[in-house]
Structure 1
């Protein structure tokens, strides 16, 4: 790589890093707002420069070669350094930025909260792109933040992971959502009736962090009667009409669906602590102007919802 015509520019390096993450020319093109031929041309150029295939076809996916895996750390260091240089020398203008912001978010928060974020993005940063990534037990969000594949993760685990910056985002009361004609919707709900009722229970979105509902019940040595387990929170409201099922969720989520479906929002007899959401980000983006704007935009949406947290100071 000593010849002048074998030099690489930052765009080609970003293509390589994204290919390593996405393992797909098509997804890389979408993520970087490039055409597929442009990504393919960059990959051909990269193969010529490094004298290696870098990514090879395996079934319907592309897998990295041993050489690319060796380059991964250096590639990340180079791009991180370039990002820090640009952050220090170029002012950030949300009105003109073409950045892609990636936010990891549980689907029960995205229903209302991320709709507000989308409105802010279209108003303040119309040229930017927003990618909302679901959280699941097989997704390593800490690694995604460390590698720059994600800007912010929104969570509400009782014990947030260490090593990341944290700032409270919003607090919300936990309530019960059920069919409007449910027998338990007609009178104050007792704890015994609540625990005995058949519940819709979502799968945990992290294999290492227990959900706040089951975590609190376990601390009280109680358990709910889980009858239906679902992969997405947004499925639950549609299962409630005409059934005796109960769904425990945050009030802003419950109120949203009670306006759309024949459902009732009932106070929960278990004294759950507020459902506290926070945003997490990696130290590598702590001072980046674009990511600071994104975090401020997320906090602004929470304030507009009227459920801002009681402790606004971020963890250092």
Structure 2
């Protein structure tokens, strides 16, 4: 019978294509992992992985085995966790949540207040969304991701929290929009004004592609990598920002009645949905289920059923 640690190694190697990264994920030294791989090859009578410029490539035997191996691992995980419960009131646990800086403003304050009230021993760690996001979720280095992340598909569950459309944000005392009406705030005025370009978040690809497709003009006078400082800049300038409604309205409310003004976007931009994402490996984990339930309760739009975070979630695989 194969040792369970050898099955975990096969799973990691198949995912990472790297002995080094697999060793890190398993908490073992690289020589130890190499010894384990030699045992696997001997017991299964196949090279299993071959070195290439792209990393450790699986052999056809490994491709045929991986689904069964993962089914066994998931079954063992469910068995081990079947009696495990998560007591939020007494738990001493760190949760790592990947999110954009917009979510630091719109979501994190509510989430932190809720968790502090219900689970005083829980630590929240906000992490960036980057190219390693999928691997971090799979390896358990991150528990959850919040945002618009359409590239997270195979092997990930996702649950819609709320929809986003687009608005414009300006100084409430802006000389040309202070009395804005449909007659005074339109596409021609929009194109004549100076703008702030913000490159944060996947949604901005939708804005940029719409501007390009409709041959619109945005006179960008300041480029920002995120939303840090945006309120202060808008409040002291005549620049316009085009951004998702949730972050725009949050900044406007925080600025007070004479701070920032929300304006309708004068052209149509494709909307998107903000979701929470987690890897299938942790779908049945009690602590993960608690965290997902909290996010659903706090952020899911009315009309949905947040009581069971799994009830409206979807697992994407290669056939989806």
- TM-score of the aligned structures, taking structure 1 as reference length: 0.67
The alpha-carbon distance between structure 1 residues 218 and 308, as it changes in their structure 2 partners (threshold 3 A), is farther
1:194 aligns with 2:190: yes
Could you list the runs of 4 or more consecutive aligned residues of structure 1 that deviate by over 6 angstroms after TM superposition? 79-82
- Cα–Cα, structure 1 residues 297 and 70, in superposed 2: closer, same or farther, change >3 Å? farther
Distance 1:134 1:68 in 2: 31
Deviation by residue 1:89-135 (Cα, 9 ceiling, x = unmatched): 32221111112111101111221211111111112211111111122
Task: Check the 8 A contact 1:199/1:246 in 2, yes or no.
Answer: yes
2:307 is aligned with 1:315? no
Asked whether the equivalents of residues 104 and 152 of structure 1 are also in contact (C-alpha less than 8 Å), the reply is yes
Gaps of 5+ in 2: 1-20, 38-69, 306-310, 316-320
Q: How does 1:137-216 map to 2 (within 5 A)?
A: 139-157=131-149, 159-163=150-154, 164-182=156-174, 183-188=176-181, 189-205=185-201, 211-216=205-210
Structure exhibiting the larger radius of gyration computed from Cα positions: 2
> Residues 231-250 of structure 1: matches in 2 within 5 Å?
231-250=225-244
The RMSD of aligned alpha carbons is 3.5
- Please tell me whether residue 67 in structure 1 is matched to residue 67 in structure 2: no
Q: Give the whole-Å Cα distance in 2 for the aligned partners of 1:197 and 1:70.
A: 61
* CA separation of 1:132 and 1:173: change in aligned 2, threshold 3 A: same
In structure 1, what is the equivalent of residue 120 of structure 2?
126
Q: Is 1:272 aligned to 2:269, yes or no? A: yes
Cα gap change, 1:224/1:306 in structure 2, threshold over 3 Å: closer, same or farther?
farther
Distance 1:220 1:94 in 2: 50
SS of match in other structure, 2:235: coil
Secondary structure in structure 2 of the residue aligned to 1:233? coil
Say yes or no: does 1:105 pair with 2:105.
no
Q: Secondary structure at the match of 1:259?
A: helix
- Counterpart CA distance in 2 for 1:165 and 1:221 is 37
